[in-house]
Amino acid sequence: MVMRRLPTLARRPARLSASPWRMMSTSSDGSSATTHFGFQQVKEEDKKPMVASVFHRVAEQYDVMNDFMSGGMHRLWKDSFIDKLHPVGPLQVLDVAGGTGDISFRIAKRLMSPANRHGEGSSITVCDINSSMLQVGKERAARLMPEATDLFKWEQGDAEQLQFADNSFDVYTIAFGIRNVTHVDKALAEAYRVLKPGGRFLCLEFSHVPNPLIRTFYDAYSFNVIPLLGEKVASDRDSYQV
């Protein structure tokens, strides 16, 4: 798997407006604009329900499948992501597309350390558009981090239209989620809006494989092996058919 970690960005005290250009969207003939869904092009209005359907189906096996698909590498990527953040409390954190809590739990472990006064003054808001993913996250938090349950807030919400007030958070994280947003420019504008001046935006996401030879193997793995893993592990081949 190939990953590109986008650089940490700090919020500047200038107003950001959403561009009228819709990222990853096309409309050349006046018909409905399209956007990407995996390697498909779909109508913009169809993407959100399609993404929702996938994650409702895979929520229970989502974390297990991440281990199988990446050979456990996703854990190292996420650890590196949190190292980049280097959370020092007190912090108000928003984890968008936070789903089952992998990023939030890693942040919580840092904030609950004695050096951070066991999380005093900090909070982590896990925001996800999918209720099934949030439910799995809540259950995992109660099981894996019972000492930190008061640190978490679980909110169902849309990255393109967040329900939080301006200048609310010190940190905004989104890991393997921005590709599932229909209008990325709107999500970025919302991230800017809810971050405090000087707040930090961190995004973890996959990228293009530049080496043709490696890309051949990567594509073969993505198109053939991952759907098979989905069928065997999660009993759901279609959700992993890119």
CATH class of the structural domain 42-206: alpha beta
Six-digit token string for 155: 């909110």
For residues 166 and 45, give the distance between their C-alpha atoms in angstroms, rounded to a whole number: 27
Q: How many other CB atoms are there within 10 angstroms of residue 12's CB atom? A: 12
Which amino acid makes up residue 150? D
Is the pTM for the entire model greater than 0.75? yes
Distance CA 198, CA 235 (A): 45
**How do the domains of the chain map onto residue ranges?**
42-206
Per-residue pLDDT of the chain (242 residues; tens, 9 = 90+): 333 334 455 655 443 333 222 233 334 344 579 987 777 788 988 889 888 998 999 999 999 999 999 999 999 999 999 999 999 999 999 999 999 999 999 999 999 999 888 899 999 999 999 999 999 999 999 999 999 999 999 999 999 999 999 999 999 999 999 999 999 999 999 999 999 999 999 999 988 889 999 999 988 998 889 888 888 887 878 777 76
Quote the CA–CA distance of 175 and 80 in Å, as a whole number. 12
